[in-house]
């Protein structure tokens, strides 16, 4: 499974945001770092189909996505956890997850609901007790977990995660990133983040997005060694965490 973004430009009502963005998403975590307003969510929206790109191409295993609408992109096997989770707040948590499974079914996948739940619970052990709560009543961290779980329930071929750790306690961030790393073992994940320090070591490939352009791309080692990245994103003089450090254990 491979997503190829080539020369992508996108924006809103005449104002252009992304310019000539190219990257590949393969199994593992492809990380897009960038400050507020850099265009991370615009990139996610362009891939997911909620924003029609102005130019460039998006190919999922060779299938063009750029002309498809969001629901058609989803039917190609792309699942998204959007910025700020965007759960269906009127629905119970379990019904949010079922909407994910509905997508898998609509794509013709066989869905074993019990097995889907078991897989999700293994990754997010905190979910079983809140299944019958209305999603609107969850905390921010719980919402992020449900949003990712909802996307996983769709049995995606490609997972898009837009800043899933926003607003979470540092311990929860480490926890959630550990779970994302586990998910990315068998799935290509496009992850956007601002939290460079904790996410770079988990990535297969990192891209730095500034003002709508990719200004630096490479493997984590290169990023952690780059002076500019260290100054601007890791704090001047910060010691990069050793790459050999074992990934944070998924607790529970």
Where on the chain is the footprint of ligand ATP (CB under 6 A)? 12, 17, 34, 36-42, 83, 163, 194
Q: What angle do CA 232, 56, 163 make, to 5 degrees?
A: 40
For another protein, the binding residues (CB under 8 A) are: 48-50, 69-71, 74-75, 79-80, 82, 86, 88-91, 95, 98-100, 102-103, 106-107, 150, 154
User: Which of positions 9-48 make contact with Mg ion (CB under 5 A)?
Assistant: 40-41
Phi, psi of 104, rounded to the nearest 5 degrees: -60, -45
Between CA 12 and CA 78 the distance in angstroms is 22
Q: How far is the CB of 38 from ligand ATP (least distance, A)?
A: 4
Q: How far is the CB of 78 from another protein (least distance, A)?
A: 8
Residue 71 interface partner, choices another protein, ligand ATP, Mg ion, none, CB cut-off 5-8 Å depending on type: another protein
Residue 231 interface partner, choices another protein, ligand ATP, Mg ion, none, CB cut-off 5-8 Å depending on type: none
Which residue's CB is nearer to ligand ATP, number 46 or number 155? 46
Among 4, 26, 83, 102, binds Mg ion (CB under 5 A): 83
| DSSP, residue by residue, 139-190 | -HHHHHHHHHHHHHHT--SEEEEESTTTT--HHHHHHHHHHHHHHTTSSEEE
- What is the chain's length? 252
Quickly tell me which residue has 């837009």 as its tokens.
Answer: 162
And the tokens for 93?
């948590």
Tell me the C-alpha to C-alpha distance, in Å, between residue 118 and each of 29, 121, 157, 166, 204. 23, 5, 19, 26, 27
Residue 95 interface partner, choices another protein, Mg ion, ligand ATP, none, CB cut-off 5-8 Å depending on type: another protein
Which residue's CB is nearer to another protein, number 99 or number 216? 99
Per rule CB under 5 A, is residue 81 in the interface with Mg ion? Answer: no
Q: Decide if 144 contacts 163 (C-beta within 8 A).
A: no
Nearest-CA neighbor of 180 among 193, 71, 140? Answer: 193
Residue 36 interface partner, choices ligand ATP, Mg ion, another protein, none, CB cut-off 5-8 Å depending on type: ligand ATP
Q: How far is the CB of 190 from Mg ion (least distance, A)?
A: 13
Q: Which stretch binds Mg ion (CB under 5 A): 57-65, 77-85, 105-113, 220-228?
A: 77-85
Point out which residues bind Mg ion (CB under 5 A).
40-41, 83
């Amino acid at each position: 499974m491979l997503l190829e973004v080539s020369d992508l430009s996108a924006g809103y009502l005449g104002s252009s945001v992304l310019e000539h963005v190219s990257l590949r998403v393969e199994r593992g975590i492809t990380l897009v770092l960038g400050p507020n307003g850099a265009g991370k969510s615009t990139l996610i929206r362009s891939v997911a189909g909620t924003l029609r790109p102005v130019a460039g191409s998006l190919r999922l295993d060779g299938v063009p996505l750029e002309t498809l609408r969001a629901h058609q992109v989803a039917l190609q096997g792309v699942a998204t956890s959007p910025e700020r989770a965007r759960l269906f707040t009127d629905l119970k948590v379990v019904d949010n997850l079922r909407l994910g499974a509905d997508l898998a079914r609509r794509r013709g996948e066989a869905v074993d609901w019990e097995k889907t739940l078991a897989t999700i619970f293994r990754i997010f052990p905190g979910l079983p007790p809140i299944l019958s709560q209305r999603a609107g009543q969850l905390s921010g961290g719980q919402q992020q977990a449900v949003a990712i779980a909802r996307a996983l329930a769709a049995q995606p071929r490609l997972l898009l995660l837009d800043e899933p750790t926003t607003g979470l306690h540092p311990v929860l961030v480490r926890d959630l990133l550990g779970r994302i790393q586990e998910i990315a073992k068998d799935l290509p994940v496009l992850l956007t983040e601002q939290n460079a320090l904790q996410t770079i070591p988990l990535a297969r490939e990192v891209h730095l997005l500034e003002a709508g352009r990719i200004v630096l791309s490479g493997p984590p080692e290169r990023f952690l060694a780059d002076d500019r990245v260290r100054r601007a994103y890791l704090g001047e003089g910060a010691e990069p965490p050793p790459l050999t450090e074992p990934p944070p254990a998924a607790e529970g």
